[in-house]
Structure formats: structure tokens, C-alpha cells
Structure 1
Amino acid sequence: MCDSNARRTLWNDLMHCANRFKHEPWTVLGEFNVTRYGAEPSNGMTKAMQEFNNANTKPELEDLKGTGFHFTWNNMRMGTEAVLKKLDRALGNWQWFRSMGDSFAQFHPPGILDHSPVSIHLRHRQPYKGRPFKILNFWTDSEKFLHIVKQEWDKEYTCSPLIVIHKKLKSLKGSLRYLSTRPDSIAKELRLKLHSVQQVMVSGDMDQSVVVREMQLWQEVGRAARLEEAFFKQKSRIQWLKEGDSNLAYFHKMVKVRQSKNHIVRIRNEAGVWVESEGDIA
């Protein structure tokens, strides 16, 4: 892997596997002998790094959540001559994150080696316990949004100003949760309705009311699709892509990646022991 030609052969193999097994969950792990990002560290974005990132982007591979050693290689030197890099990784495709999102990679102490061994841990998917409240951007596009905010903010409370604000925010939170259905559900329902109307048109029924209904649904689907994309963009935290460029599938996939990386898989307790069970972590 020290030879650039050998690396390019591996990148081609990765893309071949990605095309062949794109509908199955799979992962690849080990030493790639090249970093992905400048902070891992490296002297800027090199050609080898660009080729490696392209080899991950095209097959839609992403790093698994990692624990243990961040820098996985060292040059076995001391002081100012010491060099640390992240050359070892565990990568999974979208199907892996979708079906095994609670898995994680552990990078172990290197011992007498210059590389940290890596292993993948599979965990039972944890039950959904809800998420902290967060304003969803698509709510602000609703005609009811400002009315709900004003209605909740006009309520009178007889207590200290700080408690008043707390009560108003808490009440507003409850009202906003039921402002509307998730836009992806609305978009799905509208697409089904549009499909049904168009099926009627295909059968030969070109009544004016059917044509008008088809046009109305077509416009509603367009609006719902824009809200759907904005919703998943916010959840994915992707900032470098613009809404409206048909990136919904990518945003949706990145939501799965974020969810996988955000969960806590192990924690060190007061006795200095690493624990992994949900009960011990809680």
C-alpha cells in the first residue's frame, strides 16, 4: 500500500465491490496508508488524499463511529520527530448504516506495533427514546406558525418573569410538535394521490375536473418535496449542498450516518472501567 499504483488498484476494487453489492450491507477495514482529512494530520490536501476521498464518495462509503485511539499510526519516534496519523479506518456503505447503525469500530492500543488494530462491534439496535425538542425549519413556512407563536406568547402567567418565559416556551413547544405531519409523510401521501389520478387519466378519463385535480396535486407535490428536502437537510446537518438540487436521497442517507455516529457506545465509569451496556451508560 506504500505504492500509489497499489492504492489505485484497491480504490478500483472498492468501487467494483460497491457496484456489485450496493443492495447489501458491507464494510471494509484496515490500513489504507493515506489520511482523508487535513486534521488527521497531513500537509494539506494531497493528490493521494483526493483519490482516497473519491474512492469513498463514489461507492458511498463513510467512516463508522470510532472509539479508542484516534491516530492509528506512529513512526515510533520521540519528541519533535514523533509523527501521528490516522491511516487505519473502518468504512461502511449506506446499507450498513441503515441495518447496522448501532455498530462501531474500536481502535485498540498498538502494543509493540506501529499501527492500532481495529475491530468492529455489533450491538443490538437500541430502542427509540425520543429526541430533545428542536425547531424544524419547515414549520416556519406554515401559515399557522406565527399565529401559534402569538397565541402562546399572549398567555398570562402570574409568576416571576423568568418562570413566565419558561412556561411560555414549554407551552409553545407542545403546540409546535403538533403543527403538522412530517413533510416526508405528506409528500408520500400526495405522490400516491397524484399517481392514482394519473392512472385514471391513462385509462382514458380526460374529464376537465380530473385534469384540474392532476395539476393541483402536481403543484402540491412540488411544494411538499421542497419541504421534505429542507427537512432532511436540516436533520443531516449538511451545509455545503443547496436545497432544491434533488439531494433528498443524500440528505436521508446522511441522517442515518449521523444517527449512527451520535449514539454513545461506551463510557468510562467512576471506577475507571469501560462499560457498554445501555443500563450502565445511563
Structure 2
Amino acid sequence: MLGNWNILNNYDSVVNRRIWLLWKKGIDLSPCHSNDQSITVKCLTNTTTFFITAIYGSNSGSHRRSIWQHVRDLDSMYGSFPWILGGDFNTYLHYKESSDFNLLGLYSSYDMLDFQEVVQDLSLQDHPFFGPTFSWINKQKDNYLARKLDRVLINPPWTSLFQDSFVEFLAPGHSDHNMALQPIQGNPMQKLFLKLKRLKPSLKKLNKNNYSEISTRVRLKKIELETVKIYTLNGQNSIAEELKIQKELISLEESEYMFLKQKTKVRCIKERDKCTKLFHSTIASKFKRDIIRVLTNNEGKRLDSFDDMANEIIDYFKNQLGTSDPNVLPVDSALLKNLLHFSLPIETATELTKIVTAEEIKEALFSQGFFKGQRGIRQGDPLSLTLFLLAMNILSKIRNLVVAKGNLESIVGVTSILNHLYTLSGLNLNVSKTEFFTVGISARTLDSIKSATGFKQEFFPVRYLGVPLVTRKLTETDCIPLLNNIKARLHH
């Protein structure tokens, strides 16, 4: 019957077989002491050693005093180790641990004083527990009496080592005593479960006090408020009473809202993954909530059809990425070859001119998702600097074909080169941001240049990238602002 269990009893110390101690085979537990009212064992684990004392106190107060002396002796031997004592002490510690304490008042018997003295002298304390306060009941209808005769005590080393341990007092069942359950160790999920179990009574009490029949209470409070409003209008009540009840109604309505919201969440968690009607209803509700039903375009026109809204969204993101410029023409490779005077090795040329597959393009940098960029790469792309240098190299080669002089013909030649670069690369000259500086040119020539180009004339001195540009040799005075900025950076 007990094939997987070891058993220890105190038959040798008492004739009526008072205590049984059982533990599963494989647990390293060995007996230390046994007498008519207790059994003490030693338990070894991978990390520590601790002692357990099972107690069944005598019904006789005078005979029970021998167990208190035995506990003192055990403390002198094992008190430096974690030690737990539990069982039926057949007496209680405090007057409130008896259901008749309202009648007896601040009462302490000799048995209680003996017990209190041992607990205080040995620095023992009740193990943290949850469950009923009383552990024994006489089960008499007319002379009801309940007391805490069963308890679990621990010493300071146990408190320090087993900080997460606890005791649960279970329902008494067929016995008139409650069973005490004390897991020494457990996995994290078990600990969480038991902590939530301990929290459950407090949550039930909170729910009963604050959310019981909440909808009915809200309805009754509304009726009360309507009645008080009538009394206020008739001059029978002050406005303060009406405001007080209105505040109470608002508080009840907020509680009702939170209660119903939480109830909906619980129901959703329970049923949403079962393909139930609630699940499909929740999905449909979310779908309806997320649908865009109306848009307003840049012209202020209201768009309420799905086709119009879809076209507006597509056009918006296409405009964000830019539009193609019809003035930008394909590049003539012969022109570039003549400008750069550069030829590639045959194998490199073959590699660069071979047919590129659609899959290679998709996997390369030019894949931009659903909305394709129409004007090359976006600003901030790592390739932008390299492509800009390549374009400026072409501009420099074309610029060398034109002789720059301080007359209208030279300026027109330069602008035509810039316009040609625009057709090749899409880099267009912004006339409103272009300025020119002159030295030794007549007013008539200046007027003709400004009229032909639309450029704005500026005058020296001017700074470019912090460096002063002047028509003469730089002096120390010209460089003072630049030197001051450098010194400021060095001292920063």
C-alpha cells in the first residue's frame, strides 16, 4: 500500500500511536529524535540541510510542558540550521485565536503563557500562511467553538533561506482539524499559481464590495438622482445634496464600465480561438472599425467611394516619390566616351553590358516596393554622393569645351552646358538661387547678362564654406572670423 513511501512513527515512545511521518522514496531524510509528542528528522538537499519537527501536543496541560522543554533542547542542537515545527499543539498562542475571545476578553491561560514563552525565547514565529485563521472546530451546533490549535512555526535561519515558502491550511474534510500544506520548493509556475490562489479571496471580496450588482446599483442611483433633482427644483433640498449623488452616480458608472470591459476581455480570451460566433463577431467588428470610409483631398473634395479613396492614396505616395521629367533624355554612350577618353578592358565591358535579369534587379538596390521612384534614388541614399561625383566629373569635362570670358556669349555658353547636363542627369539649375560675382565688367554688359539669364548679382567680399573670397590677396584681417571659429571649436 505504501510502496513508494517511507514511513516513520513514534510507536516506541507511546502506546496509542500518535504520529506518522511519511515521505517519498528518493528524498534524503533521516530520523534524529522521537518521543511521545514529537518526531524530528533531518533533510538533506543539493544545497542545504534543514530539520523538521512534527508535533502532536498532549491533551493534558501538565504533560504538555515536557514538549516545550524538548523543543528547547532541539533548538540548542539544531537552532543554527533552518528548522520548521508543525502540527497540533493542542493549545493556542493569542486570545484572538479562539472564537469566544469576545466573551473572554484579554485572556491568557497557563498553557498559553508556557507556549508564548517558548516561542519568544527561541525567536520562533508563525510561518506565513493563507486559509482560515481557526484550524479546529468542535462541530457542535449549540456550543460552537473554533480555535487555532494547528500551526507551523519557523526559526530565523528558515526565514532567511526559504523566503518564498508558505503554508496553506486546507478544508478539514472528515476530521475536525485543518490540514496544513507546506511546499518547500516549487517551480516558478507553481509559485505563481499559489500566489494567485492566495490573492483570490481578496479579489473576490473586492469584487463583491465594488462590483456586485453594479448595473442594478447604477440604475437605482439614477432614479435617486432624478428624485433629488425634483426636490431641489421644489426648494426641498440643497444643490449640495444633488451634486453629491451625481458624483456617486459618476463613480458607479465608471465602475460599471470597467467591470463590463473586463468581463468582455475575459469572455474574448476564453472563446475567441474556438471559431465561435463571438470570435467572428470580434473580427468583423475590428474590421469595420479599421475601415477608412471618408478622405478629403488637397482641393477639399470629399471622397467616400472606395475607388476614389484608393486612387487618391496611390497618387499621394507616387507624388511623394516624385514624377519623371520628360526633358531628361537617354545618355549617349558615345558622347560620354569622347568626353572621358576612357575605355574598359574587354572582359569588364562584357560584364557591364550583359543583360540584367528581372530577378537581379529585384534583389539589387533598385527594388523600391510597390511605389517606384521616378527620379532616381532618394535623398540620403548612400549612393547619392558617388553618383553626384560622377555627374560633376561629366560637367567638368563639358565645361572644358567652353572658353569662359567676362561677356554675354561666355555666360550663355555656360548656361547651355548646364541645360545639357539637365537633359542627361535631371540636375536642373535653379535660377532663383543662382548668383554671380563680377570684377571689371561694364554696367552695360552686366545689364545684358542679368537680362539674359535672370541671375542675381552679388558683390565681394563673400564667404564660401567659411573662407573669405576677395578680389585681392587675403589679409590676416579677412581670416580673423575663420580663425575665431577654429579656436572656439578647439576649446569646446
TM-score, reference length from structure 2: 0.26
TM-score, reference length from structure 1: 0.44
Q: Which has the larger radius of gyration?
A: 2
